[in-house]
Structure 1
Amino acid sequence: MSKFEVPEVDYERYSNRQLAAIPLALLAVALVVLAALWVTTGTPVPLGIDFTGGTELTVQTDTPRGEIGAAFDVEPANIQAAAGTADPQYIVTFADTGDSTNGSILADQARANLEATCDNTEECAIVQSRQSTTPRFASSAQNTALVGLVIAFAGMSVLAFALFRSFVPSIAIVISAFSDIAIPLAIMGLVGIKLSLGTVAALLMLIGYSVDSDILLNNHILRREGGFYESTARAMRTGVTMTLTSLSAMAVMAVTAYLFGIELMASIGIVLVLGLATDLMNTYMMNLSLLRYYKLGEVGN
């Protein structure tokens, strides 16, 4: 079995400004994208029914996908084929129809207007499942998720300053964690991955991953014996291996979930892959450049 080797990077070839330029440029672009989406659409990232309210039906039907929308009085926001099932099934999502009455009406319309081969058995009911979220609950969930992200980020910032008690090493962790969230959010907004309770959980996980890798690097450089570059190489052997292992696992989860039509799990996996890749860049370019400036001064400038 082959052993994964983390390549050693000759950081002495690059100045602090060169190392920090790419992560900071991508962060700036991400913030511009989020601001533009906010101005044009009202939200920096498209919101799922968890945060807007709506109804999601899973229906078994022989009706062609393109004709399913005509069965309802309300135009579906999205119709997605459900993979991994013996009979043709679709997940039909309706926005802003989250109260139980509307959900029941939509389910009744599906039963009345969509065709299915059921052999007259109860188990073959055309509506396999129905999930509704009221606008009031969705608004409450949105506020709770936002407060949770703010508290998690603030707690991470306090932890960083409490551990290192120096401005530059601590702010490096904070900026890196912020970028690890901002860049995936911008990509989500561009490609249309919706913000849901699941993807919010993925963003909270990214804060944990970011703090873990950044504290590992800071601790090796600031608190352990050895030169700056020796300590960096030692931290990378552990940190890069750890992050790439997690990234590979999330990539496999995302691909598998996509193939089986599990949209939520696929979205969580994609967000984590984007965030972990961003964390590699931020930790070993931007964070490292700030630590080198703190320890050695203007190297290479």
Structure 2
Amino acid sequence: MPIFKTPNFDFLRWRGHAFGVSLLIIAAGVAMLVVRGGLPLGLDFSGGTQIIVEFDEPVGEGAVRDALDVIEEKVVQQYGDAADNAVLVRLPQAGPEEGTSLEEGANTVVAALRGSDLGGFEIIGQELVGPVIGAELRQRGINAFVFAMIGILIYVGLRFRFSFAVGAVVAVAHDILITVSMLTFVGYDLSLNVVAAMLTITGYSVNDSIVIFDRVRENLRLMRRDQFDQVINKSINQTLGRTIITSGTTGFAVLALYVFGGEVLRGFAFTMLVGVVTGTYSTIFIAAAIAILITQGRAACPRPAQPHNERATRDRSASGARRGHELRPSLSALQAGLLGIVQGVTEFLPISSSAHLILARDLLGWHLDGDFALAFDVACHVGTLAAVVAYFRSEVRGLAGAALRGSTWLAAGDRDGRLLRSLALATVPVVVVGLAAGDAIAGALRTPEVAAASLAAGAFVMLAAERVGRGRRRGLPSGSGAGSGSGSDDALGWAPSLGLGVAQAAALVPGVSRSGAVLTVAMLIGVRRPAAARFAFLLGIPAIAGAGAKGTLDLAAGGVPPGGLAALAIGALASGLVGYVAIAGFLRYVARHTLDAFALYRIGLSAAVLLAR
């Protein structure tokens, strides 16, 4: 018996409201993560002690948990068959020395159990999960998620449409972000069980999206005269009964697991429960809406008036015109915000902002008129420049002081001066190449194919750099805390500085990534990853400022296109706020993880783009 006879709900009418609610929850979750210093890690990731206790008489988990009430952070669960009368007790890392942690943990458990009335018992096993193993597990979890996203993007793109693949991946990313936000609000730890639940959510969300997209593909052949959004809305209504039945039955099972599964499975069940709800919601409102946005954006764009004769704007317009694209004179507030977010995230991550902006505009059909494209680039540069200067404000003050001191910054004891010298030398190549060939590169190489090829090539070099010279890496000159945590104050000579500058200049080619190129070369010459990341961000300040200044000069003759000031302001604000969060998150990430996940993402995105051309 069908749940609905002939459902005809206008789901897509509410997609804007759905985007707003999702962004609000995710923003609140990110703010909470920043305030709390990240999501608390379970013992699987943070390290700790596992102790197996066998009792003479049957005991319940609750009784053991009550007996160990003196231990604040613990996990107690049944071990083996119920007839074995054994429980597994997990304790967090007690001290920096592994042996001390193992011994003290076992002694604490034994003392607490002896003071209870649970009868006789015996410690039959104990094991330490060190922080090194925990870090490896974190890296494997991240790699598993990245591989899953790459596989989904390629499979759905080949099997259906590339716009469907992007919609499915965005929906999955939305589900994970919402789930992490809810975990932050509730306070559950990130454990292997939670990671397993997130991967399950990924499969569930994609499966639900594919069911709808498969019906869309069938209806596109039957409803050729209807608009694309009408076809999708009809398809969602046709599969609504199946969606409710699947989500409802899964939700009831997970709810029972949450209520009756015990404390150990509560984090897993909660994650699954949130994932089932958000997976259903995102399939209807997020995945479908993204597919519509991309398809309609590529379908038609208004053609603007011919731009004026400045070389930079002429090259930007010509590059789009040569590929047969109609050009937009401006952007809506939503479009400007989305592109600003893309710029803010990708400017500082080693995945290339230029490539993502090119791919986003090509995918969405948002090909901009040369004047407005240049103005929007300048606005985004202003936003990202404000973000990096605000984050490294203490370093910037130290560098400014060194510059004002004049020739004294060459002195061996002036740490700010040594850092300033390295940054100045590394800035020379990008200035020379940018002035000599910047416009030619922008006009000839700003294509999706070049961006995709550069993404892949840079990824393989990045993977190699992670595996070369790990044992001999050092820090960088650390004026005003710039090298915090690097463990060294070795000066960077003129040759390595120029080498990093050449790497940054190579990022003028779309897809290379300025931060990625500098990071990769720095690791190849023996600089530790966190110090290299901070140097790359500081080196980006003059590069971003110079690009913004040059764009402003190129734009001065024609002025800002009328009616586009609001879009420019939104783009600058979005890129600045998101860029600041991206810097903080990336520095925290590289302190514990390799760049492998970013390299795999670059390879997957490159493959998907080239296969879809």
User: Which TM-score band (shorter chain)?
Assistant: 0.7 to 0.9
Where in structure 2 are the equivalents of 1:90-239 lying within 5 Å?
A: 93-97=91-95, 99=98, 101-112=100-111, 114-117=114-117, 124-125=120-121, 130-167=126-163, 169-224=164-219, 226-227=222-223, 228=231, 230-239=234-243
Q: Which secondary structure does the structure 1 equivalent of 2:49 belong to? A: strand
Say yes or no: does 1:240 pair with 2:244.
yes
Quick one: distance in 1 between partners of 2:64 and 2:244? 49
> Higher mean Cα deviation, 268-277 or 94-103?
94-103
Q: Percent identity?
A: 17
Quick one: distance in 2 between partners of 1:250 and 1:67? 28
Relative distance call for 1:230 and 1:33 in structure 2 (3 A) is closer
Relative distance call for 1:36 and 1:22 in structure 2 (3 A) is same
How many aligned residue pairs are there? 275
2:49, 2:102 within 8 Å by CA — same for their partners in 1?
A: yes
Relative distance call for 1:287 and 1:80 in structure 2 (3 A) is closer
- Structure 1 residue 79 displacement after superposition: 4.7
Q: Which secondary structure does the structure 2 equivalent of 1:195 belong to? A: coil
Aligned residue number for residue 35 of structure 2 = 40
Where in structure 2 are the equivalents of 1:12-51 lying within 5 Å?
A: 12=10, 16=12, 18-43=13-38, 45-51=39-45
Relative distance call for 1:8 and 1:249 in structure 2 (3 A) is farther
Tell me: higher relative CO, structure 1 or 2? Use CA pairs within 8 A at least 6 residues apart. Answer: 1
Runs of at least 5 residues in structure 1 that lack an aligned partner in the other structure: 70-75
2:172, 2:206 within 8 Å by CA — same for their partners in 1?
A: yes
- Structure 1 residue 230 displacement after superposition: 4.6
Runs of at least 5 residues in structure 2 that lack an aligned partner in the other structure: 224-230, 300-613
Question: Which deviations, in whole Å up to 9, do the C-alpha atoms of 1:162-188 show, x marking residues without a partner?
Answer: 222342x33221211111111011000
Aligned residue number for residue 281 of structure 2 = 281
Quick one: distance in 1 between partners of 2:36 and 2:205? 29
Q: Which secondary structure does the structure 2 equivalent of 1:78 belong to? A: coil
Q: Which secondary structure does the structure 2 equivalent of 1:11 belong to? A: coil
Quick one: distance in 1 between partners of 2:116 and 2:124? 12
Q: What TM-score, normalized to structure 1?
A: 0.75
Relative distance call for 1:154 and 1:100 in structure 2 (3 A) is farther
Relative distance call for 1:235 and 1:140 in structure 2 (3 A) is same
Where in structure 2 are the equivalents of 1:239-278 lying within 5 Å?
A: 239-258=243-262, 261=263, 263=264, 265-278=265-278
Quick one: distance in 2 between partners of 1:63 and 1:278? 36
2:68, 2:109 within 8 Å by CA — same for their partners in 1?
A: no
Aligned residue number for residue 73 of structure 1 = none
> Higher mean Cα deviation, 124-133 or 148-157?
124-133
1:180, 1:276 within 8 Å by CA — same for their partners in 2?
A: no
Aligned residue number for residue 333 of structure 2 = none
Quick one: distance in 2 between partners of 1:95 and 1:19? 48
- Structure 1 residue 20 displacement after superposition: 1.4
Q: CA RMSD in A?
A: 3.6
- Structure 1 residue 223 displacement after superposition: 2.4
2:8, 2:237 within 8 Å by CA — same for their partners in 1?
A: no
Relative distance call for 1:20 and 1:42 in structure 2 (3 A) is same
